[in-house]
Amino acid sequence: MHATIRMTRAEAAEPELWAYLAMVVAPDYVVWRHKGAVGKDGGSPSATGDRFLGPHYKQAFARLWWAAEMFRDGEDYRPAEVACSNQDMVNTTLRLSVVDHRPTARALVRVLESLTAAETSLLGDKVNALSSAVNAAGCTLMYEVLAPDEPLHLDGLMGWIRDAEWSASVPWDRLPEGPDDGPVPQQSVDRLTSYFEELLQAAPVRQRKGAEGSGPQGGVSLAKLGE
């Protein structure tokens, strides 16, 4: 999605674009991906209105594009793939303004990687606890000062957008390359990763009903999208 629809964040912030995709180009996808259970009245399953016209973290197409944009590391989409492997990371963290800061978003994914590798139980609940703790701490801490980011290489971004006119279709058997607008500073990511791990240790984990015994993949639901 992100490597096919190449644009700036300002362009992607226009809700009309996503509404057109959802309501004119591919409404069948929206219903297929987000249809709920059959209602009590026996009616057919359908997707809720916010999957067509909702905010960027709910709208069916916008959430995919913004997940890739927020969690990628320059031209490397692998961190975004990790983030999208966990539904709670996308559903919760994508709502937060702190992920506009690239080292913050990258550090969140690093913590998720560690939790997944350790086969942590109740993974989705801990991701939600982490997101809440990071967001709350961001009210008093300036992550931009604690872990500075580098300015984006706008020439690389705009060149990547222009290249879409004659670039080959995005491959399905491997991750494509994103815009070469500069990697996230690793020193800043390391600093925030350590801090976020400390936050998670002290954060209260609210266990959801029916989550007993759920394994590390309990929150996964985006795999069938093929981002």
Contacts made by residues 46-52, CB under 8 angstroms, sequence distance 24+: 51/22, 52/19, 52/22, 52/23, 52/27
pLDDT-derived band at 61 (thresholds 50, 70, 90) equals very high
Q: Is the pLDDT of residue 128 over 90?
A: yes
Q: Return the pLDDT at 210.
A: 57
Please enumerate in sequence order all residues whose Cβ is within 8 A of that of 174, keeping only pairs 6 or more positions apart, or say none.
Answer: none
Please give the full DSSP string across the chain, using - where no structure is assigned.
-TTTS---HHHHT-HHHHHHIIIII-HHHHHHHH--PPPTT-PPP---THHHHS-TTTSTTHHHHHHHHHH-BTTB-HHHHHHHT-HHIIIIITT-GGGGSHHHHHHHHHHHHHHHHTT-TTHHHHHHHHHHHHHHHTTTS-HHHHSPPPPP-HHHHHHHHHHTTTPPPPPSSS------S-PPPHHHHHHHHHHHHHHHHHS---PPTT-TT--TTTT---GGG--
How buried is residue 63: exposed, middle or buried, by Cβ count under 10 Å (0-12/13-18/19+)?
buried
176: pLDDT strictly greater than 80: yes
pLDDT exceeds 60 at position 221 = no
Angle among Cα 224, 209, 200 to the nearest 5 degrees reads 80
- 223 has a pLDDT exceeding 60: no
The Cβ of residue 165 has, within 10 Å, a number of other Cβ atoms equal to 7
What type of residue sits at position 148?
P
Enumerate the domain spans of the chain: 1-36+47-71, 76-206
- Strand-pair partners of 76: 73
Model pLDDT, residue 40:
56
Residues 6+ apart with CB under 8 A from 203: 129, 130, 132, 133
- Whether the pLDDT of residue 35 is over 90: the answer is no
pTM of the model: 0.86
Token pair 């629809």 is found at 5
Quick one: pLDDT band at residue 209, thresholds 50, 70, 90? Answer: low
